[in-house]
Amino acid sequence: MTINNSSNPEIYVADLAAYNAGKLRGEWIDANQDESDIQAEIDEMLSGSPELVAEDWAIHDYEQFYGAGSYLGEHPSLEDVATAAELISEKGELAGLVIVHLCGDMDLAKNALEDSYSGEYDSLADYAEELSEGSVGNIPDNIARYIDYESMGRDMELGGDVFTLKTNDGKVHIFWNH
């Protein structure tokens, strides 16, 4: 098996007829393409099988999916694979984390990234502070010292108003739940 070092989302598709005959055979396929193009590449790979009848396949590995492959599984819809790859190609690690957070629901993930995203912050408290100052204007220092932005942010998350995801760079990404 070839190790894939690409930054583009790819899938390793195995020929199950060969696999069941004790032969490891498959190909890495670019997942950031239309589902019909992915299917065409799978069909081409299967046509070269050493087994007489090779119709079944499974995805045995995901590269650059940031954990989302575990929710897509071995036998996903190619539409979901293509959607996940497109989101990840556009948004990177964050899209993979959103897909994982939403348990592989591509419609919810796409909506969250397009409609519910509030931005990147150093902390949820920073977001609560920005949100507060944006609502009421600049808060004077003699009042601001009494405001507990950490508690405000925690309450927004625990109350279900927002969910947060932390990327490998340590940044917190905020999403509204409604």
**Which of 115, 148, 167 is the last residue before a domain boundary?**
115
Distance of CA 54 to the CA centre of its chain: 31
82 shares its domain with 129: no
- pLDDT, residue 5, reads 41
- pLDDT, residue 7, reads 65
CA angle 76, 77, 82 (to 5 degrees): 105
106 shares its domain with 139: no
10 bridge partner residues = 30, 63
**CB-facing half-sphere around the CA of 82: CA atoms within 13 A:** 10
- Residue 2 in any domain: the answer is no
**Which of 91, 115, 139 is the last residue before a domain boundary?**
115
Distance CA 27, CA 174 (A): 37
- pLDDT, residue 2, reads 40
- Per-residue pLDDT of the chain in tens (178 residues, 90 and over written 9): 343 444 699 999 999 999 999 999 999 999 999 999 999 999 999 999 999 999 999 999 999 999 999 999 999 999 999 999 999 999 999 999 999 999 999 999 999 999 999 999 999 999 999 998 887 778 888 888 899 999 999 999 999 999 999 999 999 999 999 8
Give the domain extent around 170: 122-176
On whether the pTM is more than 0.85, the answer is yes
Q: Which residues does 76 contact at the CB level (< 8 Å), separation at least 6?
A: 59
- Residue 154 in any domain: the answer is yes
Q: Which two tokens stand for residue 173?
A: 């990404």
Long-range CB contacts (within 8 A, 24+) of 109-112: 109/84, 110/83, 112/175
**CB-facing half-sphere around the CA of 155: CA atoms within 13 A:** 6
3 burial (CB, 10 Å; 0-12 / 13-18 / 19+) is exposed
- Residue 4 in any domain: the answer is no
18 shares its domain with 80: yes
101 shares its domain with 147: no
45 shares its domain with 89: yes
Into how many domains does the chain fold? Answer: 2
- pLDDT, residue 65, reads 97
CATH number, residue 147: 1.10.10.1190
**Which of 72, 95, 115 is the last residue before a domain boundary?**
115
109 shares its domain with 164: no
103 shares its domain with 135: no
83 shares its domain with 42: yes
- pLDDT, residue 135, reads 79
